[in-house]
Chains A and B, each alone.
Chain A
Amino acid sequence: MTTAATDTSLAELIKAKCPGAVTGAGEFRGETTLTTTPENLHRLLSTLKTDPDLGFNYLADIAGADYPGRSQRFEVNYQVSSIPANRSVRVKVSVGEDEPLPTATDVWKTANWHEREIFDLFGVRFSGHPDLRRILCPDFWTGHPLRKDFPLDGEEVAFTHNQASIVPQEAVWKKGLGKAEYALEQSPADVGEDTTMVINMGPQHPSTHGVLRLVLQVDGETVLRTIPHIGYLHTGIEKTAENLTWQQAVVVTDRMDYLSPPTNNLAYALAVEKLMGIEVPERAQDIRVLIAELTRLASHLIALGTHAMELGAMSVFFYCWRDRELILDIMDFLSGVRMMTSFINIGGVRADLPDGFHKKVQDFLDVFPARVDEYDGLLTNNRIWEKRTLGICVITPEDALDYGLSGPNIRGSGIKWDLRKDRPYLTYPKYSFDVPVGKTGDVYDRYLVRLEEMRQSREICVQALKNISPRGEFRTADRKISPPPKEELERNMEALIHHFLLYTRGFEPPEGEVYSTIESARGELGIYLVSDGSNKPYRMHVRAPSFVSLQILPAICEGGLVADVIAAIGSLDPVMGEVDR
């Protein structure tokens, strides 16, 4: 992480490069925030990207926020990073309700879906956006859910006294679905319509990893266009979190990336800790590292298994599932829950390790290398597997950056960018591990990267397990954040007060905003938090790596065959729970 001193000079540098565009610069918890106006926004963003001294080639996230009291009620935050220089800056712009913002899609392609999301959930319009439609809510939805004045109760329930005044939702849905949802949104451009066929793949399809829907325009088996539709699993996690206390919101994060819930907890906990400036004991951090890496293994196992199954290698799927089960058993042993553990909590982890934990994990780590070799043997040099994946759906490094890919997807394209190394968090610097990268960026490389990452994660687990003593500190001693132990409650009045306050009101972080990132199994999982000093998050936004990486799908599928679309989805490894949130 860059120090405060260089950040101040960075702000000065940007001001000099783009005169008049930056109206203010702030600094909080080591993050630089530049404020600008809608008129200057586009100029500032393109300078940030194109200027050789700045080189902010990576748009990580765009997060909206709603402040109804202000004259310009919406705030849009661009998280911009420079990958070779490893520095980042937040560009903040305020915009009124009817004011359009210039689009950033011509600067970074990844801005496309982010802007659609903000349009959908806040109603901010982006002028010049190529395809400004709703993305998470259905096209016929009324209102913008993340606005603070959007009714929490959702639709009104019809009773006999009010049923005349309520439009039944069923009618709205029927009317909406009657629209051209199933057709292509834009007319086919330069292909003769008579030779093409439109296939609706999903949301109920065996290989779309959940409820992803793709509208494919095919000529025979050749895919001419792919239009992804998402939002079928939109559960309003961000909105829900804004209405829970800081501590309670941990539980909803579990439900985002349901293949690696502890990592979501970790991202959120780290963000809150950054916001509050909490120091977590080293042992607790080591435990977190161990859990995060076990989770990465579980997630990669599913990624590999489903990917293989979709390409027809059915047995690999079952083998992967078998091994993931061992990890879930460990999670069960640790927390009592197989998947939605909520074990990683603000201030540390929820409880100390159970007796026999070390042995259970060690047993798993002992058998695991042979298992990875088994997958390696079944697939890596398999001629059919090579034929299906080598040179298929290539993502060039330039595209990978432009589309904001992260995790194994960007590393598959040969860009060595791993937040565990590049923006170290927890105690990762203590551990030695390699970051595998691919060469060509095809499906095969992404597969190899994940396979090697499993071996490396296991190495981290082995080291972490040695570091963790069976008993010790597992959460911060700060009684404002972590509840006092049971024995203390019976003797200590102050402990009782802390306990009472913590469980009735929660804690109140200082005012401010942070954007905290971790390397989840799928890439950069970022949490943008705004605190207004109350006991609930004012705004929680999640930069979901799958949401971002799924966006590249149409670009890499074009010109391929239908079977390649399946290979591409499998290699991008999206989890719809995280995409739709």
Chain B
Amino acid sequence: MTDLIQPIFQTAAWVVIYAFVPSFIVMNAVLIAGAFLTYVERKVIGHIQQRPGPNRVGPLGLLQPLADGIKLLTKEDIIPAQADRFVFVIAPFLSLVPVIMAYAVIPWGEPTTLMGVLPWLRVFDGWGYIPAAWNPFPLVPEKATLVISNLNIGVLYILGMSGLSAYGIILAGWGSNSKYALLGGLRSAAQVISYEIAMGLAIVGTLMLAGSLSLVDIVRAQESSFWYVLAQPLGFLIFFISGIAETNRAPFDLPEAESEIVAGFHTEYSGMRFAFFFMAEYGAMVIISAMASILYLGGWLPLQLPIPSALPAIGSTLAVTDGAVRAVNGALMAVPPIVWMLSKIGFFLFVYIWLRATFPRLRYDQLMHLGWKVMLPLGLANIFVTGLVILVKG
């Protein structure tokens, strides 16, 4: 009997330790962060627009996301009489689930012992309550890379997931049986397809440099050379602009352009179903920001200034000494990797919000024009030039 249960128990423990615990942590962190992102967005836009933003619920309005959550949870769940019920109900899930799944491959930091917790867990015997043969704790790795799964096709996986989430939007538009929702859904379908291509092409340049599709490997490749934003400035721009379009954010927020088509695909949604779309949008924003950080800004790597003497052309003209730069670099090194990763993501999120507060919205045909006639050829040119350079440099 024991012979049968023990391996099952061990397998289950393995699944919990390697899949469930990290997924649980990341998923909750993402959802809570997404909720607070709405707060940050309102606060930032508020200040840009010279108004205070949320400041009633809790100190500095910090509990606003909580209040919003409670409100959305307790709202009446309305399904329009003429809606296609099955499609209408399933669409929000189809929109949110792929976004959350995409987080599985995002690396957040270096392999770490979690401040000594992991090695301690490995020798933990459960205070003697667990038989030594059953003890799951030795399964805990000594050092863990902060990623749920270091998939060797991580980039492809994320592209696939973000493509899938478009289904949710299209089906929401179709299932609502409302004209505004339908228009929003159609716009979104066209937009996501167009910009996915440009985005994919922009990434190819990075992949050629790194020689891997794994996000962890891409960061490692940047550790040994330099941040790819220096080698791929054009690719970076295309990626980020396409990313904004991909997540339906201003100035490409046509699928939900409220002045034209009311609220677009989620016109008919209310309560938690509406919140799902919202969470999906904010989750996707974080994904794109994380991707931009990993692919172009070296992920969790700290910023390192170039040593003046290593720059033959301008090094001697600079007024700083090598020692000073080394000291600064040392200080930057001391910042934990995950803080670097999160601050890079935070920077991109701020840019997202900043853009929304600044720019007018493009028109639908202009968006398509930009996607197919500007972004796509530029992306191809970028690949060509990158390939040429790699070929020449060997």
Contacts and interface: CB of A to CB of B under 8 A. Distances in A.
Interface of A: 197, 199-200, 205-207, 220-221, 308-315, 318-319, 322, 378-379, 382, 384-385, 387-388, 561-564, 566
Contact of B360 (A199, A207, A388): A388
Contacts of A387: 362-363, 366
7 contacts: A311-B259, A378-B358, A561-B363, A562-B183, A562-B364, A566-B259, A566-B260
A563 B257 contact: yes
A384 B251 contact: yes
Nearest to A208: B259
A319 B49 CA distance: 7
Contacts of B187: 221
Contact of A315 (B186, B357, B362): B357
B262 interface: yes
A312 B257 contact: yes
A220 B186 CA distance: 9
B354 to A, nearest CB: 10
A206 B258 contact: yes
A207 B48 contact: no
Nearest to A200: B179
B262 A561 contact: no
Interface residue tally on B, bucketed by range: 20 to 34
Nearest to B253: A312
B48 to A, nearest CB: 6
A346 B365 CA distance: 53
Q: Report which residue of B357, B358, B360 has the largest number of chain A beta carbons within 10 angstroms of its beta carbon.
A: B360
Given A379-B360, A384-B251, A566-B259, 6 more contacts: A197-B179, A206-B262, A313-B358, A313-B360, A318-B49, A564-B363
A221 B183 CA distance: 8
Nearest to B356: A314
Contacts of B393: none
B50 A309 contact: no
A240 B362 CA distance: 45
Given A205-B262, A221-B364, A385-B360, A314 B49 contact: yes
Contact of A384 (B49, B179, B260, B359): B359
Nearest to B357: A315
Nearest to A205: B262
A310 B257 CA distance: 9
A383 B260 CA distance: 20
Nearest to A309: B259
A382 B258 CA distance: 21
Nearest to B263: A206
B361 interface: yes
B250 interface: yes
B56 interface: no
Contacts of A207: 258-260
B135 to A, nearest CB: 58
Q: Report which residue of B45, B50, B51, B363 has the largest number of chain A beta carbons within 10 angstroms of its beta carbon.
A: B363
Q: Report which residue of A199, A207, A387, A563 has the largest number of chain B beta carbons within 10 angstroms of its beta carbon.
A: A563
Contacts of A312: 250-251, 253, 257, 259, 359-361
Contacts of A200: 179
Contacts of A388: 360-363, 366
Interface string B256-278: 01111110000000000000000
Given A314-B357, A564-B363, A319 B260 contact: no
B180 interface: yes
Interface in B152-204: 179-180, 183, 186-187
Contact of B361 (A221, A311, A319, A562): A311
A393 to B, nearest CB: 12
B114 to A, nearest CB: 42
A206 B251 contact: no
B259 A206 contact: yes
Contacts of B363: 387-388, 561, 563-564
A221 B186 CA distance: 10
